[in-house]
Amino acid sequence: MTTTDSSETAEAPKGKRRLGDLVFANSARGAGLLILAILAGVAAFLIVQSFSSLTANEANFFTSSTWSPEGGPDEDVRFGVASLAFGTVLGAAIALVLATPIAVGIALFIVYYAPRRLAALLGYLVDLLAAIPSVVYGLWGLVYLVDELQPFYRLLSEYLGWIPLFAGPVSSTGRTMLSAGIVLAVMILPIITAMARDVFHQVPQTHREAALALGATRWEMIRTSVLPFGRPGVIGGAMLGMGRALGETMAVAMILSPSLVISPNIVQSGNQTIAAHIALQYPEATGNGVSALIAAGLVLFAITLAVNMAARFVVSRRKEFSE
Amino acid sequence: VDPENQQAAGDVDCVDGGGTLDGAGASSQENAMAAWKASWEGACEGSVVQYDSVGSGAGREQFIGSGVTFAGSDAALDEAETEQATERCNGSEVVNLPAYISPIAVAFNLEGIDSLNLSPEVIAQIFNQEIDNWNDDAIADLNPEADLPDQDIVPVNRADESGTTENFVAYLSEAAGDAWPHDVSGNWPIEPVEAAQGSTGVAQAVESGQGTITYVDASHVGELGTAAVGGGEEFTEYSPEAAAAIVDASDPREANTENDHAINLNYTTDEAGVYPIVLISYHVACMEYQEQQNADLVKSFLSYVVSEEGQQAAADEAGSAPISQDTRDTLLGTIEQISAGA
Amino acid sequence: MTTTTQPAAADSSDGGPGLKASGLYSRQLPTYFPPALLVVCAVVVSGAFALFGSFHPVPAAILTALAYLVAITASSAAVENSRRAKDRLVTGIVYCCFAVAVVPLISLLSTVAVYGIQRFDLYFLSVSMNGVIPSMDAGGVYHAIVGTLVITGLATVISVPIGLMTAVYVVEYGRGRLKQAITFFVDVMTGIPSIVAGLFVVALWILAFGPGQTNGLAGAIALSVLMIPVVVRSSEEMLRLVPNELREAAYALGVPKWLTVVKVVLPTAVAGLTTGIILALARVIGETAPLILTAGMASTRINGNPLEGDMMSLPVYIYKAVRAMGLSGEAGVYAEERAWAAALTLILVVMLLFLAARLISRFLSPSKG
Amino acid sequence: MAKRIDVSDLNVYYGDFKAVEDVTMTVEPRSVTAFIGSSGCGKSTFLRTLNRMHEVTPGARVKGKVMLDNLDVYDPSVDPVAVRREIGMVFQRANPFPTMSIYDNVIAGAKLNSQRLSKSRADEIVERSLRDANLWEEVKDRLNKPGAGLSGGQQQRLCIARATAVEPAVLLMDEPCSALDPISTLAIEDLIAKLKENYTIVIVTHNMQQAARVSDRTAFFNLAGTGQPGRLIEMDDTNKIFTKPDKKETENYITGRFG
Amino acid sequence: MAKRIDVSDLNVYYGDFKAVEDVTMTVEPRSVTAFIGSSGCGKSTFLRTLNRMHEVTPGARVKGKVMLDNLDVYDPSVDPVAVRREIGMVFQRANPFPTMSIYDNVIAGAKLNSQRLSKSRADEIVERSLRDANLWEEVKDRLNKPGAGLSGGQQQRLCIARATAVEPAVLLMDEPCSALDPISTLAIEDLIAKLKENYTIVIVTHNMQQAARVSDRTAFFNLAGTGQPGRLIEMDDTNKIFTKPDKKETENYITGRFG
Ligand SMILES: Nc1ncnc2c1ncn2[C@@H]1O[C@H](COP(=O)(O)OP(=O)(O)OP(=O)(O)O)[C@@H](O)[C@H]1O
Ligand SMILES: Nc1ncnc2c1ncn2[C@@H]1O[C@H](COP(=O)(O)OP(=O)(O)OP(=O)(O)O)[C@@H](O)[C@H]1O
Ligand SMILES: [Mg+2]
Ligand SMILES: [Mg+2]
Ligand SMILES: O=P([O-])([O-])[O-]
């Protein structure tokens, strides 16, 4: 290669490459910006559309639980999301509390306990379950599960009634927040499991062998090397699941017997989630009614945001130690 | 039901060349609409009706916004809506046509009991959670024959905003007097004991619970026990004829314009053989459309809907009450006049 | 180093085969012990329940599991050592988790299969609901299958490039605040409730086309809003797994960055990317609420054009059938059968899609392994 | 505490593939034994069978006998967990637990063995192990910092400290210095020399000089041919192997001009 | 084709941390230059600045000048991609592209750049590069098999073939033998000896013997102290460095008894 040759190769292809890089890098950035734009669009839509009802609202939007946003000739516009927000968080919390440990358990089972073939099959099954429509979960919950659960709630209330959660009186149909939470848990289980399974798969062999070589039992190996490594991923999966649980519409609408009260009692009918409330009210809503529902949607959005921020905070706090 | 029967849609006035007719609104009409759609489309080649059962409110909104050519609504357009809709209707009259009447049953799940006599006051007190046991004297007095169990009453109401609720509550507040002190709206006015989504939901909840009671579109009663409703000595079981009777016993709405046929139901009528708890779902249309095709299609479709065949098809399919001949004549008179203008 | 190491101490205390073992020979429960113990627990618990005359499978199973966990831990602690006991306890718990989760999931799947098979046949798959009224023993899901394929297909076509490019941006190009903003807001976007996405698109459509304009494209866009963040998130994870060494190897050959990404990074990650896309697809293919709002629920005939009028989809079809399920008489029965059969159809469609995705991914990464 | 290892007729398989064939050898206590041999001849594989680490690899199986003093390592009633506690291992690539501090890394194994470890006892173990591993001076001021923040050589020594903290009888080291610079290598070789007073040490290395420097006995492995299993060709005192080995094969390998 | 590299007053920073300070040196064409020095003294860092690979590391910056013959490598108008085409690199850990066959790996430089290459020309390049890398005989029958299926040493040679296939003027090698057994090491050393006829070669190694064997000139780097930047202590003919270095520091390092 001669000197002239080289300076040519150094200069000549430059323009062409820069173009390719420019186009590609900018379309990548463009995609990112598009996402921000969509999100800004959704946020703006929520804010703009909720404006009219919020300004007309005579009740405190955050502390009140009434819902008559359409008002009338001699009636104030009054609505508030207190009970809805409470119900939303309650339902998602039940789902998360039930699903996360079980999902971690299943993921561990798939990755470290089950025979390999079974594990592959289970992994596939789990992915498949993530795709089952919420209507089907709702249908199953409605037709099958609530009837099965109702007697169990009686027992729960009888023996653990001193805990406010199970105080009773027990719903005679079983269509309670706990039922909704259980169905939500079943729904988000595949999501959390899939994420947890993936991160557990990625725990470096060397870390696991390090523990085993110290004479750790399987559980001790999992505790010292798998769980700490997988923690951020599991939290991420739990947040994805929580996002779905918070926003789940149909299954809750079908299963829960709602009311707009704040009640910690989850074996009794009552409480309501924002998403289900929107679904139940939207078809017949007009004017401020729609606007108020969208305001509720805004609150749901904000709750999701807060939950995600909290999760990030938890994950990043231990970043120093996560490789 | 035999599919072949559905083609027997008599003499339908079809539109030449057909076209697509868009409608949206009340879910109460969904099943009747399926029957009408099948017969009308079967009779008129090339004609299609698309009815989105998104709910009355959304239906009215879409109608006002010109999204659809007609709406189904469990409530007539109110003053403000009428005003807005006039614009959409080329400045012409907007009409509410009461072409779907459906009895609302008071249905319950009590072992061994198929029917109970209940007065409006008692129904109100039950749903107001004042009477909370089935062997309450108030119920027993009305049903000396029945062997009422000592069991809690679990009232179930609709969780979604609905025309059924609105009509039921309207009935209670008219007929039960002080026993039902709540405002009338499509949302259940008090804190529920149990609630469920849609007619299917409440029916399901009542079936799966015990000592449960609800109000539900009569087509969803299934195996449940139902109440015969009335005052004094006379109790009437729901039936299509008894339900249709109330329409004739009622007066038109005061605000009605010439061709508008919205009704003020007379729940307290003393007439015999009247079942007073009904849901009336209107077809909302313009008297004048911008496009000829739309006008023709609406005319053709609505004529079929109010026709004897149409009403019978809905009755077979959705358990609705066929309108009386008087009503039909009135409605047809109006539908005839629908036209297109610049 | 002293001879009294911890393990030796633990061993001599249980009086095993003596010091010569120095912790190596530990008494162990025979392999048949755990299953046998489980059976014993089940029998005892069921017996107890039967005695009190209130046998019910669920509490019996729960108590059996608890009894087993206690018993296995105790016996292991007694015969083996406390660490083994803990290990056995956790093993038991992990199996329980599996059972606890798999039982409802299997119950769900088998319910769908058992109820669904009643109406599931070629006829059901090959006709639409056009001209079918509720009480007719007729009609099928063909139009809904078409709609689902068109809508989710469109949604995939929209979301995958956007999502993938965003992930590429975040992993390969992103710096500083914009990258942080994007990762954060993608997280936020994963939490957009589906119904809000539907409402958003409805508003968009009203702005653009006026009210009541439902069509397949609107549905696809609503689904894209839900799908994009899932694609971004999972792709991001997968791209991060591609070792930096490979990128550096390409750079060292004088390959520009974008070609490195296109020809080295993406092909290396293709299997993982496929999984991510599958999960994203799974997330949206069962969505009901946004589709009712955007693609309507009126369509009963086959419509393959996403720009033209309502489009039925399997979840909405199921939803409609569920709503009609409460009808008295045959209409309700047929509706319920249709609901389950359509659910079964949807699950099968998803299975086929997954399979196809796997095959494509295998095709794209030929020389792996 | 150091123990002897007797291996007889050991065969190792990965699924159907036989990786190591018919190895019989004795590893003496309180001495350093080096394994040398070309890449892929099964040194690591064989090493991992000594403390049953091969069981972690799916599909890996063993036929033959490994005795630790009088104890059959593969006896069904023997707990592999206990075996690994007796026979510690250090890997080629340093693998400190990334989520743990330096202190916790060192005490990790000891903690598993006795849940209730007094603080003072733990401090003692950590200091002794880190001193043994020649790392104490460098890290004593930042014991609570993550172990992953150390340099490669330091990480490797941290792993050695972690392995010795549980006081095993035998220490297996798989190419512990291959990623290290000469100074760190020297530190680790010194450490090995010191450790052999108490432990039985086995070290796999590609570095002939290193084998010559640190080991008392050397085992040379080689492949019978491509696709064939690895075998133990010769094992003898290190001096002998490096000066006048019995086998021609060994001599060929040793006298390559590399190192 | 071989080119000279002139470095003057080069400083490298990772963010605020100065990793390498004030290096000035000349790398002669058609010769092998070895970089030695203790771990963390900045050998790899410095090496990567020569072909602007440091730009891939977020936060890495450079001050100073690197001339490739008459071309200022850091001139803003110079495309780093073109620089890297001229100055190839082989990494410590073999990194063949896992999704490509052996054949495609070798031809990757051209292929990834979407250059149109006739089949026969491509075949020719592949064969020549593999022969150069001493790998042809071993893989000629399975060119279409994945590159990841080769043994460690073979993979490393494959990476060298890949680097030479684009015919760079300079070849930088960062500890190319540290994970290899002596036989593979020997093969690579032979290869280096052969390559230097056409290329300028820079090799980082921890292995003193290797440096002594393969290099013409040797540069010794060292840290000024912990937390301080690495510097070039001395650079001279290899013979001189290993027999009578000018600096005491160098002598200390060289005469350690390790290798
Ligand atoms: N997990 C595994 N599955 C299948 N084969 C394996 C596995 N691990 C190693 N092998 C094969 O077993 C043989 C011996 O491998 P081993 O890692 O023991 O070699 P080694 O002597 O340690 O080589 P090196 O010096 O390169 O580390 C090789 O042919 C290798 O390909
Ligand atoms: N990406 C980075 N960010 C910050 N500091 C770095 C980075 N890479 C290396 N360093 C630091 O720069 C210094 C020089 O590192 P370098 O990798 O060049 O050393 P080296 O001489 O190659 O060592 P070795 O022989 O271990 O490979 C070290 O202190 C190291 O910690
Ligand atoms: Mg090895
Ligand atoms: Mg380096
Ligand atoms: O018909 P509904 O409005 O009661 O659903």
**What tokens appear for B149 in the block?**
């169990």
d(CA A193, CA A99): 9
Query: Is residue D230 included in any domain, yes or no?
Result: yes
d(CA B302, CA B338): 10
- Mean of per-residue pLDDT scores for chain D: 85
Do the bridges between strand B47-52 and strand B19-25 make them parallel or antiparallel, or are there none, so unpaired?
Answer: parallel
pLDDT exceeds 50 at position A259: yes
Contact D209, D189 (CB under 8 A): no
Q: List the E32-37 sheet strands across, edge first.
A: E71-72, E60-68, E5-14, E17-27, E230-237, E217-223, E32-37, E200-204, E170-174, E87-90
Closest Cβ opposite residue A259 in set B192, B204, B210: B192
Residues C291-310 pLDDT 10s: 988 888 888 788 888 888 78
Say if residue E182 is preceded by a cis peptide, omega within 30 of 0.
no
Q: Which CATH number does the domain A78-322 belong to among 1.10.3720.10, 3.30.70.20, 1.20.1260.10, 3.40.1010.10?
A: 1.10.3720.10
Give residue C358's pLDDT: 77
Nearest Cα neighbor of D125 from A223, C6, A222, C12 is C6
Residue C74 in contact with partner chain D when CB distance is under 8 A:
no
Mean pLDDT for the stretch of residues C50-56: 75
Nearest CA to ligand 5 atom 1: B28
**Three-state secondary structure call for residue B320:** coil
pLDDT of residue C24: 58
The two tokens of residue B52 are: 């989105």
Instruction: Give me the residue label for tokens 């059938």.
Output: C321
Of residues C132 and E213, the one with the higher pLDDT is E213
Tell me the percentage of chain A whose pLDDT exceeds 90.
20
Of residues C347, C362, C182, the one with CA closest to residue C275: C362
CA dist list (Å): C87 to C42, D133, E229 = 22, 31, 49
Q: Is residue D251 part of a domain?
A: yes
Indicate which residue's Cα is closest to atom 3 of ligand 1: D14
pLDDT in tens, C9-24: 333 333 333 333 445 5
Question: What CATH number corresponds to the domain at position D239?
Answer: 3.40.50.300
- Of E93, E150, E151, the residue with max ligand 1 atoms within 8 A of its CB, to mutate for a pocket test, comes to E151
- Average pLDDT of the segment spanning C223-239: 89
Q: What is the mean pLDDT of residues A283-302?
A: 87
pLDDT band of residue C7 (cuts 50, 70, 90) is: very low
CA distance B275 to B264: 15
Query: Residue of the nearest CA to atom 12 in ligand 1?
Result: D19
pLDDT digits (tens, 9 = 90+) for A223-250: 888 888 888 888 888 888 888 888 888 8
In chain C, % of residues over pLDDT 90 = 19
> Among residues of chain E, what percentage have pLDDT more than 90?
33
Q: Atom 9 (ligand 1): residue with closest C-alpha?
A: D45
DSSP class of residue B223?
T
Listed by number, the residues of chain B in 11-30 with a beta carbon closer than 8 Å to a beta carbon of chain C are 20, 22, 24, 27, 30
CB-based contact (8 Å) between C134 and chain D?
A: no
Other Cβ atoms less than 10 A from the Cβ of A33: the count is 17
Residue B311 in 3-state DSSP?
Answer: helix
Question: D62: distance to nearest CA of chain A, Å?
Answer: 18
DSSP for residue E142: G
Domain membership of residue E117 (yes or no) is no
Which of A2, A3, A4, A6 to mutate: most E Cβ within 10 Å? A6
Q: Which residues contact E216 (CB under 8 A, 6 or more apart)?
A: E28, E31, E32, E33, E196, E237, E238
- Whether D161 is in a domain gets the answer no
Say whether residue B208 is in contact with chain A using an 8 A CB cutoff.
Answer: yes
- What's the rounded Cα separation, in Å, for the pair B184 and B174? 10
Strands (E), E91-216: 170-174, 200-204
CA E94 / ligand 1 centre spacing (Å): 17
Q: Name the residue among E69, E77, E82 with its Cβ closest to that of A9.
A: E82
Structure confidence at residue C365 (pLDDT): 63
What the block records as the tokens of C328 is 């008295």
Tell me: pLDDT of C219 over 90: yes
What is the distance between the alpha carbons of residues B306 and B331, in angstroms, rounded to a whole number? 7
Residue D29 belongs to some domain of the structure:
yes
Task: State the pLDDT at residue A323.
Answer: 39
B162 lines ligand 5 (CB under 6 A): yes
CA dihedral C205, C207, C213, C217 (to 10 degrees): -20
What pLDDT shows up at residue B342? 62
pLDDT, tens digit (0-9, with 9 covering 90-100), for E176-215: 887 677 777 888 888 899 888 888 999 998 888 888 889 9
Q: Give the span between the Cα atoms of C368 and C346, in whole angstroms.
A: 32
- B208-250: per-residue pLDDT in tens? 888 999 999 888 888 899 999 886 678 888 888 888 888 888 8
Q: How far, in Å, is the centroid of ligand 5 from the Cα of D35?
A: 83
| Positive/negative CA dihedral, B36, B42, B43, B48 | positive
CA of C250 to the centre of ligand 4 (A): 19
Query: What pLDDT score was predicted for residue D1?
Result: 66
Ligand 5 pocket check for B27: Cβ under 6 Å: yes
Strands E217-223 and E230-237: antiparallel
Task: Check CB contact under 8 Å for A257 and B209.
Answer: no
- Say what the pLDDT of residue C1 is: 37
Residue E258 pLDDT greater than 60, yes or no: no
For C113, half-sphere exposure in the C-beta direction (CA atoms, 13 angstrom radius) is 7
State the helix-helix crossing angle for C216-241 and A14-56, rounded to 10 degrees.
130
Give the torsion through C-alpha atoms of A69, A72, A77, A81, to 10 deg.
-30
Looking at the predicted structure, is the pLDDT value of residue A158 above 70? yes
In short, whether B26's Cβ falls inside 6 Å of ligand 5 is yes
- Are residues E86 and A9, on separate chains, in Cβ contact within 8 Å? yes
What digits encode the pLDDT tens for the residues B70-83?
999 988 898 888 99
Query: CA-CA distance, C318 to C312, in Å (whole number)?
Result: 10
User: What pLDDT is attached to residue C272?
Assistant: 80
Task: Tell me what pLDDT residue D256 has.
Answer: 56
Question: Averaged over E20-38, what is the pLDDT?
Answer: 91
Cα–Cα dist A65/A81, whole Å: 6
CA dihedral in degrees (B240, B246, B249, B251; nearest 10)?
Answer: -130
Tell me what pLDDT residue A95 has. Answer: 94
> Across all residues in chain C, what is the average pLDDT?
82
Q: Please state the pTM of the whole predicted model.
A: 0.83
The ligand whose atoms approach the alpha carbon of E60 most closely is 2
Residue of A26, A132, A309 for testing the chain C interface, max C β-carbons within 10 Å? A132
For the stretch C105-126, pLDDT in tens is 788 888 889 999 988 898 988 8
E-assigned strand segments in D114-250:
170-174, 200-204, 217-223, 230-237
For the cut 60, the answer to whether the pLDDT of residue A318 exceeds it is no
D71 CB within 8 Å of a chain C CB: yes
Of all protein residues, whose CA lies closest to atom 1 belonging to ligand 2?
A: E57
Distance CA A297, CA A286 (A): 16
Nearest CA to E42 out of E58, E54, E29, E56 is that of E54
Which residues on chain B are in Cβ contact (under 8 Å) with A142?
201, 204
Nearest CA among A118, A96, A136 for reference residue A246: A96
**What was the pLDDT predicted at C25?**
59
Subunit contact E206:D38, Cβ cutoff 8 A: no
Domain interval for residue D235: 5-100+170-255
Confidence of residue C166 (pLDDT cuts 50, 70, 90): very high
**Which residue is closest to B224 within chain C, CA to CA?**
C328
Q: Taking a C-beta distance cutoff of 8 angstroms, is the pair A209, D95 a contact?
A: yes
pLDDT above 80 (res D18): yes
> What pLDDT shows up at residue A89?
93
Most E CBs within 10 Å: which of A1, A18, A21, A24, as the mutation test of the E interface?
A1
Answer yes or no: are the C-beta atoms of E79 and A14 closer than 8 Å. yes
Contact A133, C108 (CB under 8 A): no
Helices and strands per DSSP (H, E), number in chain E? 10, 10
CB within 8 Å of C139: residues ≥ 6 apart: C127, C128, C129, C132, C338
pLDDT tens digits, residue range E91-110?
Answer: 888 888 888 889 999 998 88
Instruction: Give strand pairing partners of E63.
Output: E11
Confidence label for D258 from pLDDT (cuts 50, 70 and 90):
very low
Find the largest Cα–Cα distance for chain C: 89
Q: Locate tokens 């074996």: which residue?
A: A267
User: C17-31, C332-346, E38-52, E106-120 — which is least confidently predicted?
Assistant: C17-31
Domain C124-368 has what CATH class? mainly alpha
Q: Which of E88, E114, E148 has its CB closest to that of C252?
A: E88
- The answer to whether the CB of B282 falls within 8 A of the CB of B314 is no
Contact at 8 Å (CB) between B321 and B39? no
Q: Does A261 touch chain B (CB under 8 A)?
A: yes
> C186 and C233 in contact (C-beta within 8 Å)?
yes
Give the mean pLDDT of B329-335.
Answer: 92
Give the residue on C whose Cα is nearest the Cα of E156. Answer: C249
Q: What is the pLDDT of residue B215?
A: 94
**Record: contact A42-C225, CB cut-off 8 A:** yes
Q: What is the largest CA-CA distance in chain A?
A: 93
- What's the gap in Å between E55 CA and the centre of ligand 2? 14
Residues with CB under 5 A from ligand 3 (ion): D 44
Q: Is A278 on the interface with C (CB under 8 A)?
A: yes
CA distance A252 to A175: 10
Chain C, residues 261-290, CB within 8 A of chain E, namely 263-264, 267-268, 270
DSSP string of B79-113?
HHHHHHHHHHTTT--EEEEEEEEEEEEEEEEBTTB
At B72, is the secondary structure helix, strand, or coil? strand
Closest CA to C187 of C238, C229, C240: C229
Give residue-wise pLDDT tens across range B290-326.
889 999 999 999 999 999 999 999 998 888 899 988 8
Lowest mean pLDDT across A62-66, C229-233, D82-86, D115-119? D115-119
pLDDT score for A115: 84
Q: Is the ipTM of this structure higher than 0.85? A: no
Does D190 reside within a domain? yes
**Ligand 2 atom nearest to CA at E47:** 18
Q: Give me the residues paired with residue D200 across strands.
A: D170
- Give pLDDT, residue B96: 93
DSSP label at A226?
Answer: I
Chain position carrying tokens 């390049």? E125
Domain count, chain D: 1
**How many other CB atoms sit within 10 Å of the CB of residue C206?**
16
Read off the DSSP letter of residue D100. S
**pLDDT digit string, tens, across residues B20-76:** 898 998 888 888 898 899 889 888 888 889 888 888 888 888 899 888 999 999 888
Q: How many CA atoms lie within 13 A of B187 on its CB side?
A: 21
Which helix (H) or strand (E) covers residue B73, if one does?
strand B70-73
* Region D208-222 average pLDDT: 89
The partner residues of B110 in beta bridges, in order of sequence, read B113
Q: Maximum CA pair distance of chain E?
A: 56
Q: Would E219 be classed as within a structural domain?
A: yes
Residue A129 amino acid letter: L
Ligand 1 center–CA C326 separation, angstroms:
65
The predicted structure's pLDDT at residue B27: 84
Ligand nearest to the CA of D47: 1
